[in-house]
Structure 1
């Protein structure tokens, strides 16, 4: 029930300020009449956000969850793309592709680890946080989660990413590629931090998916399946 209530509230964000104020006023009137409490509104938001982060983690964590999604696929490290270009020029494109594939598979393993961290941040959200999010921009919840979890997520993610990259041989492939490149005459040698790069990119991919889930929540109200939802939607109709 609370999840459906959230969908209604998110839907009002797309309305004008006057409509939002009127709707919030109606909700406050309902609160005073014993129909809905501010705690209900906050709990509805939390439950929907938890559902969103769980689905995002699941999408990223499946086989090819990163690799087959162009919007979150982790490319060859940007700061050494000259390595990729040069290796492809000398016929080593297959090795580069193998490394990129293994790097994305490594990110999959870490994706599931993010879910409990996100869930904890959502559960710690105050009523004031909840109201600020539901009255904010389309990505207000995603921004909130990024601000609250990025540092903790990086610390938790990096060792898992490192282990995952080792498991799928991405580290070895990367070492082979860099060593091959550094042996080319007259090139400037490189040795970037692969673990930090994949960790950051995996986090960016998860936040992207969460933003997409938030957008769906805001734009696609579901069926009115309870008396409470019917009452609340009538205030918006």
Structure 2
């Protein structure tokens, strides 16, 4: 039974043809199919729980966004092109404070993502789990985008709004772009909380995608017995 399980899981994980993977699963003895599928789902759920906790833990730390070159929240593109002008007008410190406070707001909100991801994982069916394993390198991340974006937006926005207000970031943003909009034919959207919320959620999913890749590709990332059993034994069959 162990041999059947590991071969079937390996096919689901790495087979380039979904049809071939389905063929192998279809050939399993009927009595073992449900147990194997439940083991696969349990392993995947554990992997995703660990991965999302790692992601949100990194981003909710101080400088989780601000010191991350890939995720640091900057002025929107239409504003970046006039940033030097604003600095020349003596607004450099205001711009710097706005950028720092945007990232601090995202960091504070990131901790709210963990229970939302956990809830999505709990609701995942066996069919969802098998679909994710067959679905490509970013299938889990795409699943989370579909299932959690609305809830993340609802949870993030008030936290970010409150965080921005605590450090007067909304005022800094208003000062900067009120000045900019007076001289521009293409005004910048002054909804700071909305902008930061969107960027923060994009950053969360970026980190989740990195964790997904670790679990799929790096044996060292499988840190529990269940993960090693589900992922490690399957890959061992290829050696």
> What's the TM-score once normalised by structure 1's chain length?
0.81
Give, in whole Å, the separation in 1 of the partners of 2:75 and 2:117. 27
1:43 counterpart residue number = 42
Q: Helix, strand or coil for the counterpart of 2:219?
A: coil
2:191 counterpart residue number = 193
CA distance 1:92–1:14, shift in 2 (3 Å): farther
How far residue 95 of structure 1 moved from its aligned partner, in angstroms, is: 2.5
Q: Does 1:203 align with 2:187?
A: no
| Kept in 2: contact 1:110–1:160 (CA 8 A) | yes
1:21 counterpart residue number = 21
**Which one scores higher on RCO, CA 8 angstroms, separation ≥ 6?**
1
How far residue 84 of structure 1 moved from its aligned partner, in angstroms, is: 2.1
Q: Does 1:80 align with 2:79?
A: yes
Aligned residues between the structures: 229
Map 1:173-188 to 2 at 5 A. 173-182=172-181, 186-188=183-185
Give, in whole Å, the separation in 1 of the partners of 2:11 and 2:168. 46
Map 1:154-173 to 2 at 5 A. 154-173=153-172
Cα deviation code 1:130-159 (max 9, x no counterpart): 001001110000000001111121112111
| Cα RMSD after superposing both structures | 3.4
How far residue 43 of structure 1 moved from its aligned partner, in angstroms, is: 1.1
Map 1:43-82 to 2 at 5 A. 43-82=42-81
Q: Helix, strand or coil for the counterpart of 1:21?
A: helix
Identify unmatched segments of 5+ residues in structure 1.
none
Map 1:121-136 to 2 at 5 A. 121-136=120-135
How far residue 125 of structure 1 moved from its aligned partner, in angstroms, is: 0.6
> What's the TM-score once normalised by structure 2's chain length?
0.80
Q: Does 1:144 align with 2:140?
A: no
| Kept in 1: contact 2:109–2:156 (CA 8 A) | yes
Mean Cα deviation higher: 122-131 or 174-183 = 174-183
Mean Cα deviation higher: 195-204 or 70-79 = 70-79
How far residue 96 of structure 1 moved from its aligned partner, in angstroms, is: 1.3
CA distance 1:89–1:125, shift in 2 (3 Å): same
